[in-house]
Structure 1
Amino acid sequence: MTASTRRLCSVYLRDDRAVVEWRKMRSTNPIPDDLWPHDMSITIEERSHALLKLLWIREAYDLRPDGDDLPPSLDVSPRDDLAGVPSAAERAEWTAAWPSLWASTLAHAGKDFDRALHERLSQTSNGSPERLHLLQEIVGPSWRDRFGPGALDHNSYREWNDTVQAKFAARPAGVEGEALRRDLDAVIGAWRTGMTRIVTIPCLGEYTRRVGDNALLITEQMMASSDAFRRALSAFR
């Protein structure tokens, strides 16, 4: 039986979220007009819960951290203004910590899925220090680890998250994969210089950054535009 070439969309769980991997299976008989390289695999981190929580906290509590390289506002704003909830001391501490938490959480979101790490986890005993260490390495840093769950234990967050997830679910299936195929030549160029992962965030306007050696951070609005997406991919040259 002759093998055929096809693109596959694989979904796996990471930190309780779906991560989509677009790839094409190897083929013994490539389809003549199919330009997707047989060994190219691009993972799209569509909704990192840890990043979303940081973005919501910054906006809901009206934190105004210093930094020239921070992401823009959310495209769906929190309904309630919680600026008066934290004490002045808490606000100062949260504001000072936000940029470094964003940087470390984003760096983790940009890492490729480590199957060996998950295999090691499966071989550890429940409750063991080794298992706890591996779980922390897999899940990565978070606001909750630093400050506890209090800032997120609010109806405003749950309502906002429901709204955002409903908007996400209403999009056409495979929209990110369509963007990859739409601008395939630029995607291939970025992949050949190291890009294996794209992290999207639901923020306003154009904002993109290279994350480490392999990942691209981009707003969903920017990825939806061919011109803007191509400009973002040029970070890998």
Structure 2
Amino acid sequence: MTITVEDRPHALLELLWLREAHSLNPDGEDLPPHLVRTPVPAATAVYQATRARWSRGWSGVWDEVLAHAGTEPDRALVDNVFSAEASDPDRARLLRQLTGPSVSDQFGAEVFDDATYQEWDRLGFESHVASRPTVLANSPERRSVAVLADAWRRGLTKVVTVPCVGTHVRQIGPHALLVTEEVRGDRAAYENALRSFAPAV
């Protein structure tokens, strides 16, 4: 049994920061709750028209990035990216397939040059490292291995976590599950989330 746990999904974290630091109000179904660690407002404010446009586009970008986060890297694609035979345009196209949708393409790379984002990201990384279990037996997956194995038999291969408030759980395609850190850190809640995973039909 092999399960991938993505517990620092960079592009998803960028989107979650953007939503709160710029006070966006996106519409959409099954959107994640607010971040546990609320970011301070972005140091570089944007015009109201820009915020409105970003609010309208945020949910669509979230769904695209989330769908990509739920996939496993294609080994053949990785090999092709680094193949000596690939031309520069082919390599660039393959690399885009591998890395998935770009948040920067949608909202501008400069938005993440903001000093408040850099500080929020640094503190989040430090908190993440400090909270990792030092003993394998204490990992959520080891504690819930029987329920996890059942979910794996139904097709689960990846768990993606986000540092959002509450017990948000969402299946991402046929092989992945999105959960909040709170869910993954609570054995009963995590096992309920794993039991909710449904096989592809």
- The verdict on a shared fold, with TM-score over 0.5 as the criterion, is yes
Give the direction of change, closer, same or farther, for the CA distance of 1:177–1:131 in structure 2 (3 Å limit).
Answer: farther
Give the direction of change, closer, same or farther, for the CA distance of 1:174–1:215 in structure 2 (3 Å limit).
Answer: farther
The corresponding residue for 2:61 is: 101
Deviation at 1:110, TM superposition (A): 0.6
The corresponding residue for 1:75 is: 36
The corresponding residue for 2:196 is: 235
Match of 2:76 among 98, 102, 116: 116
Give 2:167's aligned amino acid: E
Deviation at 1:127, TM superposition (A): 6.4
Give the direction of change, closer, same or farther, for the CA distance of 1:176–1:205 in structure 2 (3 Å limit).
Answer: farther
Which structure's relative contact order is higher, taking Cα pairs within 8 Å and 6+ residues apart?
2
Contact kept in structure 2, 1:121 and 1:135, CA below 8 Å? yes
The corresponding residue for 1:25 is: none
The corresponding residue for 1:142 is: 102
Deviation at 1:150, TM superposition (A): 2.2
Deviation at 1:177, TM superposition (A): 7.0
Whether 1:225 and 2:190 are equivalent positions in the alignment is: no
Give 2:33's aligned amino acid: P
Contact kept in structure 2, 1:201 and 1:219, CA below 8 Å? yes
Give the direction of change, closer, same or farther, for the CA distance of 1:56–1:176 in structure 2 (3 Å limit).
Answer: farther
Higher strand share: 1
Contact kept in structure 2, 1:124 and 1:130, CA below 8 Å? no
Contact kept in structure 2, 1:125 and 1:131, CA below 8 Å? no
For residues 41-80 of structure 1, the aligned pairs below 5 Å read: 41-79=2-40
Query: Using the alignment, how far apart are the partners of 2:7 and 2:135 within structure 1?
Result: 11
Query: Using the alignment, how far apart are the partners of 1:226 and 1:43 within structure 2?
Result: 18
Contact kept in structure 2, 1:194 and 1:214, CA below 8 Å? yes
Give the direction of change, closer, same or farther, for the CA distance of 1:175–1:168 in structure 2 (3 Å limit).
Answer: farther
**Percent identical residues:** 41
Give the direction of change, closer, same or farther, for the CA distance of 1:232–1:132 in structure 2 (3 Å limit).
Answer: same
For residues 204-223 of structure 1, the aligned pairs below 5 Å read: 204-223=165-184
Contact kept in structure 2, 1:56 and 1:157, CA below 8 Å? yes
Query: Using the alignment, how far apart are the partners of 2:71 and 2:138 within structure 1?
Result: 20
Residue aligned with 2:179, SS? strand
Give 2:193's aligned amino acid: A
For residues 131-210 of structure 1, the aligned pairs below 5 Å read: 131-171=91-131, 172-173=133-134, 178-210=139-171
Give the direction of change, closer, same or farther, for the CA distance of 1:63–1:197 in structure 2 (3 Å limit).
Answer: same
Query: Using the alignment, how far apart are the partners of 1:231 and 1:146 within structure 2?
Result: 35
**After the TM superposition, which segments of 4 or more aligned residues of structure 1 sit over 4 Å from their partners?**
124-127, 174-177
Residue aligned with 2:196, SS? coil
Gaps of 5+ in 1: 1-39
| TM-score after normalising by structure 2 | 0.92
Give the direction of change, closer, same or farther, for the CA distance of 1:124–1:58 in structure 2 (3 Å limit).
Answer: farther
Deviation at 1:124, TM superposition (A): 4.6
Q: CA RMSD in A?
A: 1.9
Of structures 1 and 2, the larger Rg is shown by 1
Give the direction of change, closer, same or farther, for the CA distance of 1:94–1:41 in structure 2 (3 Å limit).
Answer: same
